[in-house]
Amino acid sequence: MTVPPHVPGPHQAPQSVPQATQGYPQGPAPAAPKPKKKFYKRVWFWILALVVFFGLLSAIVSGGEEPASEDTAAVPETGGEETAGGDSEDAEAEPAAEDEPIAGIGDAVASGDMEITVTEVETGVSRVGNEYLGTDASGQFIVVHVSVTNVGDSAVHFTGSDVTLIDDEGRSFSSSTEASFYVEDANSLFEQINPGNTVTGQVVFDVPEDADPGTLEFRGSLFGGTAVISLR
């Protein structure tokens, strides 16, 4: 018996008939591709890096050692020549210094515009002057006889302060102005000296009894330098 189709009434909306969907059956989802390894995680990368590293290291070491050996070999040759030259020059200079003897008694030395010569040295003098006019030494008088020449172009004055006595112990003594006035021809030495003229006189030093004269230092001017005369 056939069932007649349902016919909607006048006030009913027609029923929708579902449509069959045609298509192919869906299979399983495809597998995701495997991630590729990064290049620095692969064995061949590190092997190559080690080969390059040791190659560069070997080149640096071998290249740096050769100049160093050349420099090392060159330095002793140059240094040896300079040392030999310096030693020979020093050896030649030392005798030259030794060949310059200090002036002594009877030798003229100059400082500034004056030239002085020591002609005699008296030691152990206890008194200068005479029995009426004179002075006694505190220790002993050392009397230095000198001649002074003006080698400049204008008049000069020589005074006792121009000379200093050094004993054999290195002690310095200035001249005694009082004692120098009591010696013979005292005034002639301290007068004005014209160019080309020479005066003679005596300079007196009051020193301890145990002092032995060593040298006399003479300074003729502030800028003339110091001349040294041995009194031994």
Per-residue pLDDT of 47-85, as tens digits, reads 777 777 777 767 776 665 555 445 544 555 555 455 555
User: b/e string for 13-45 if b means 16 or more Cβ within 10 A?
Assistant: eeeeeeeeeeeeeeeeeeeeeeeeeeeeeeeee
The pLDDT assigned to 163 comes to: 96
pLDDT tens by residue, 204-227 = 999 999 999 999 999 988 787 899
**CA distances in angstroms from 40 to 26, 35, 36, 44, listed in the order given:** 41, 14, 12, 9
- Report residues of the chain scoring pLDDT below 50: 17-21, 23, 68-69, 72-73, 80, 96-97
Q: Which residues contact 176 (CB under 8 A, 6 or more apart)?
A: 141, 160, 204, 205, 206
Q: Is pTM beyond 0.75 here?
A: no
- Helix (H/G/I), strand (E/B), else coil: 147: strand
The pLDDT assigned to 196 comes to: 96
